[in-house]
Structure 1
Amino acid sequence: MRNTLWLICFGWLYTVAIQAQEPQANAKYSFTLDEAIEFALENSYQSINARQDVAKALKRKWETTADGLPQIEGVLDYQNQLKQQPLLLPAFDGSGGFDEFFTPQQQVSATATLRQLIFDGSYLVGLEAAKSFLQFNNDSEEKVQLEVRKGVINAYGSVLVAQESVAILKNNVNTLEKNYLETKKIFENGLAEEEDVEQLQITLLQIKNQLSNAERLEKIALQMFNLTIGIDVDSTVVLSDDLDSLAMKNIDKSINATPFVIEDNVDYRLAYLLTEQRRLEFKLEKSRALPKLSAFINYGTAAFDDDFVFLDSETRWFQSSVLGASLSIPIFSSLRRSARSQQAKIAFEQSNTEFIKTQQEIQLQYNSALSDYQLSVENFETSKQNLTLAERIEKKNQIKYSEGLATSFDLRQAQLQLYSSQNEVLNAMLNIINKKAELETILNTPNKNK
């Protein structure tokens, strides 16, 4: 009985382990747009690497800081003079010759040294640069988060458009097949022209091809979405939001009144930090003309013998200790330091010019993004009106065609116009979502609302 229980427990644990090792592709997910953004900010490949960059920057800051803190090192040396060199000293008997002396063949020494940097101008600049570098990585991570958010919105909208497109095309195919079969029966009864059947058949084949392509694009769009949020491309995903409500949610005609604070823009802050980096490089070159002061103290012990007796308790050890300081003063470098300082100064001035240019480019990006967003809203309103008109025209032509008052060519033109209007509405809704995300990225709206 006990063996049976052990087998059951082992089988259960084995099953759990196997299930835990199943590929992520078998996982199933369901996301609203906000949930997808939150998931991607935590799990997307870009977000993970951005967090690692910040972690590296923190370690680099401490590395720089540690250079000015006490440093302790220990050294343990062992020497065995396989072939001893004699030490020649004048003979004590006054003969004018030399007496040979030999030092002990083996030697062991242990030394511990404490070093402390007291003053170094380049170290102080390095501390300031490390802090700036950390801030640069934090802002870079924020930029990655904004780009990930925008990418998720674009991918999410693309999937919804692909799904809506498939649904609309399937409905169009059903309608066309019904018209085609009815017209074919009428033709077989001798009450319609063969051209009427052929016109409908041409349209039906075109829409079927579009449907097949739309179904393939839907699969690709889902895989792109999975890649964007950081899951296996073949994972099963259900999107909870619908395209129409998402587009309406992103229509904000008051956004024009939102003030643009350029200092909130992450590209502005990154450009400023690059300028700050050039300033610190200039400051570093100037600091090289300052003296450098450091101190140290050490303690050591050593033992000497012709035999290896260093582990014996009777072995005599000789102790020593040294306290010292070092002051390095740059005096003359044949204007080398001056040349390097002037180069750094010129680079700093260039960065200031580039920073001004960057501010103008960011302002232009904002103006362009705002204009594109306003145009997307206007196009959406226009496309909805066009769709309503196209539906009415197609319906009228359906009636006229069934009553013999319109040709199959007229009906086909009306149908194609309707299908084009349907596609324009889908693209207009996606455009609103994408352009709003682009504008919010420039405004840094997501992070300002945190």
Structure 2
Amino acid sequence: MTKKFIVLLLLFSLFSLAQEEKELYNFSLQQAIEYAIQNNYTTINANRDIEAAKKKKWETTTIGLPQLNANLNYQNNIEIQKSVVPAEFFGGNPGEFTEVAFGTRHNMVANATLSQLIFDGSYLVGLQSAKVYLQISQNAKEKTELEIREIVINAYGNVLLARESVKVLENNKKTLEKVVFDTNETYKNGLTEEENVEQLQITLSQVKSSLSNANKRAEIALNMLKFVLGIELNESLTLTDSLDNLATQNVDLIALNAEFNVQNSIDYKIGLNSEESSRLLLKLEKSKALPSLSANLNFGYNAFSDTFSFLERDQRWLNFTNVGVGLNVPIFSSLGRTARTQQAKIAYEQAKTKLKETEQKLLLEFQSAKTDYEYSVEQFTVSKENLRLAERIESKQQIKFKEGISTSFEFTEAQRQLYSAQQSYLQAMVDVINKKATLDKITNTK
């Protein structure tokens, strides 16, 4: 019995550990973008906004559909209202009045009302506005996806940049430690000055400090990417793309010669939505000068009693039914309606001007993004060549330093030039990726 209990306990423990095991994610850049579009916190709410807009559209539609409402009212006349009548009606003296109570102490009415809007200009405009509202939500979602795409690309690239920086610094540290060791041994044999050892130790300390900071930055960059993707920070995430491959893939000379159609930009589409909304607002104010027509059918039962006997079977209920038609005709509003219409007209003109401003702004942003991307491609090529030259110079200076031909200052300067070229090359690769993402966002390229 004890053995069975122990086995069951072990099985339960293993099951619990399996449940607590972290989920593993392996993403290329494209997979990360696709995952973020579905799971990023902002995109999730953007999808909910669309669902809310659909419900709002239906809510507006129902205003013009039949409406059925039921009411049940009970009244207890604690003190029945009285009136006076000439006393002579009841055999009294002429000129005198007698108090008379009309009604019963308990009253109850149950009725249902069916109403239907026949014509209302505001309702027709409201239907059009509901469609525009849905379009606004859909365009907002598309803009959110484009922004998330750019953010994911930047975050993904920052993680790769941080990790490549760590690799470069670790390699530099390893190489420098060997040089410091060899130089120190040479100093012990009296073949070089102590200053050369100290100079190299200073450089080594700086590299170690940079490496420690790079490791911390790499962890922060990875957590930032997880946050953008909508992944818990304690989950495991592996990136399958390399920085060099992504940079090469994003060198697209065709994109530099592509034409830009401003009407395809999501910002321009949103501007069109704003203009249409203002136009409908103007139309709404004008429609308020039109008459509105509605009809209703009311039917029900009422009952009266001096005692609360409405739940008894022999209680008498009296039915009633009526039909009504209502016509509301706006005649004069002391020019208030005219003032509101003029305000809406001004807002519409402002929206058209804003759309023109957006068009020109997008053309300028495209020109700037295209120039930045072109420059990043050039810098990528230049920094790659500069890195090759810096590696050759540092290698020659290291040989000269070991042979005693050059000083530690010359060797250290070559090292600093190499380290700077390494970081410039890594940053150039990230810039190509990021600048291409910015250009794609403006041109609405996915």
Give the structure-2-normalised TM-score: 0.95
Instruction: Choose 81-90 or 270-279, whichever is displaced more.
Output: 81-90
Question: What residue is the counterpart of 1:357 in the other structure?
Answer: 357
- 1:256 to partner: Cα distance: 2.0
5+ unaligned residues in a row in structure 1: which ranges?
none
Q: In 1, are the aligned partners of 2:80 and 2:101 still within 8 Å (CA)? A: no
Q: Secondary structure at the match of 1:445?
A: coil
Q: In 1, are the aligned partners of 2:68 and 2:114 still within 8 Å (CA)? A: yes
Query: CA 1:289 to 1:240, structure 2 compared with 1: closer, same or farther past 3 Å?
Result: same
- 1:53 to partner: Cα distance: 1.2
Structure 2 distance, partners of 1:129, 1:13, is 61
**Cα displacement string for residues 10-51 of structure 1 (whole angstroms, at most 9, x for unaligned residues):** 97997698568749xx43321111111111111111111111
Match of 1:86 among 82, 101, 121: 82
Structure 1 distance, partners of 2:12, 2:322, is 65
Query: CA 1:346 to 1:198, structure 2 compared with 1: closer, same or farther past 3 Å?
Result: same
Question: What residue is the counterpart of 1:42 in the other structure?
Answer: 38
User: Which amino acid in structure 1 is aligned with residue 437 of structure 2?
Assistant: A
User: Which amino acid in structure 2 is aligned with residue 295 of structure 1?
Assistant: A
Question: What residue is the counterpart of 1:54 in the other structure?
Answer: 50
Question: What residue is the counterpart of 1:160 in the other structure?
Answer: 160
- 1:180 to partner: Cα distance: 0.2
User: Which amino acid in structure 1 is aligned with residue 385 of structure 2?
Assistant: Q
Structure 1 distance, partners of 2:8, 2:75, is 59
- 1:316 to partner: Cα distance: 0.9
Question: What residue is the counterpart of 1:224 in the other structure?
Answer: 224
Structure 2 distance, partners of 1:11, 1:95, is 103
Question: What residue is the counterpart of 2:431 in the other structure?
Answer: 431
User: Which amino acid in structure 2 is aligned with residue 100 of structure 1?
Assistant: V
Question: What residue is the counterpart of 1:442 in the other structure?
Answer: 442
- 1:296 to partner: Cα distance: 0.3
Query: CA 1:325 to 1:218, structure 2 compared with 1: closer, same or farther past 3 Å?
Result: same
**Cα displacement string for residues 53-79 of structure 1 (whole angstroms, at most 9, x for unaligned residues):** 111111111111111111111000111
Q: Secondary structure at the match of 1:170?
A: helix
Structure 2 distance, partners of 1:178, 1:308, is 105
- 1:322 to partner: Cα distance: 0.8
Query: CA 1:103 to 1:14, structure 2 compared with 1: closer, same or farther past 3 Å?
Result: farther
Structure 1 distance, partners of 2:312, 2:13, is 61
| Percent identity (aligned) | 49
Question: What residue is the counterpart of 1:127 in the other structure?
Answer: 127
Structure 1 distance, partners of 2:78, 2:150, is 72
What is the number of residues matched between the two proteins? 442
Question: What residue is the counterpart of 2:65 in the other structure?
Answer: 69
Q: In 1, are the aligned partners of 2:67 and 2:114 still within 8 Å (CA)? A: yes
Structure 2 distance, partners of 1:21, 1:267, is 45
Question: What residue is the counterpart of 1:146 in the other structure?
Answer: 146
Query: CA 1:331 to 1:8, structure 2 compared with 1: closer, same or farther past 3 Å?
Result: farther
**Cα displacement string for residues 397-422 of structure 1 (whole angstroms, at most 9, x for unaligned residues):** 11111221111111111111111101
Question: What residue is the counterpart of 1:28 in the other structure?
Answer: 24
Structure 2 distance, partners of 1:441, 1:406, is 51
Question: What residue is the counterpart of 1:408 in the other structure?
Answer: 408
Question: What residue is the counterpart of 2:276 in the other structure?
Answer: 276
Question: What residue is the counterpart of 2:380 in the other structure?
Answer: 380
Structure 1 distance, partners of 2:8, 2:308, is 58
Query: CA 1:397 to 1:119, structure 2 compared with 1: closer, same or farther past 3 Å?
Result: same
- 1:233 to partner: Cα distance: 2.3
- 1:101 to partner: Cα distance: 3.5
Question: What residue is the counterpart of 1:299 in the other structure?
Answer: 299
Q: Secondary structure at the match of 1:325?
A: strand
Query: CA 1:133 to 1:14, structure 2 compared with 1: closer, same or farther past 3 Å?
Result: farther
User: Which amino acid in structure 2 is aligned with residue 355 of structure 1?
Assistant: L
RMSD: 2.2
Q: Secondary structure at the match of 1:312?
A: coil
- 1:87 to partner: Cα distance: 4.0
- 1:86 to partner: Cα distance: 2.5
Q: In 1, are the aligned partners of 2:301 and 2:319 still within 8 Å (CA)? A: yes
Q: Does 1:234 align with 2:230?
A: no
Query: CA 1:383 to 1:339, structure 2 compared with 1: closer, same or farther past 3 Å?
Result: same
Query: CA 1:362 to 1:20, structure 2 compared with 1: closer, same or farther past 3 Å?
Result: farther
Structure 2 distance, partners of 1:249, 1:405, is 44
User: Which amino acid in structure 1 is aligned with residue 302 of structure 2?
Assistant: A
Query: CA 1:299 to 1:156, structure 2 compared with 1: closer, same or farther past 3 Å?
Result: same
Give the structure-1-normalised TM-score: 0.94
User: Which amino acid in structure 1 is aligned with residue 27 of structure 2?
Assistant: F
Structure 2 distance, partners of 1:352, 1:13, is 70
Query: CA 1:46 to 1:19, structure 2 compared with 1: closer, same or farther past 3 Å?
Result: farther
Q: Secondary structure at the match of 2:327?
A: strand
Structure 1 distance, partners of 2:162, 2:348, is 50
User: Which amino acid in structure 1 is aligned with residue 340 of structure 2?
Assistant: R
User: Which amino acid in structure 2 is aligned with residue 212 of structure 1?
Assistant: S
Q: Secondary structure at the match of 2:253?
A: coil
Structure 2 distance, partners of 1:126, 1:93, is 66
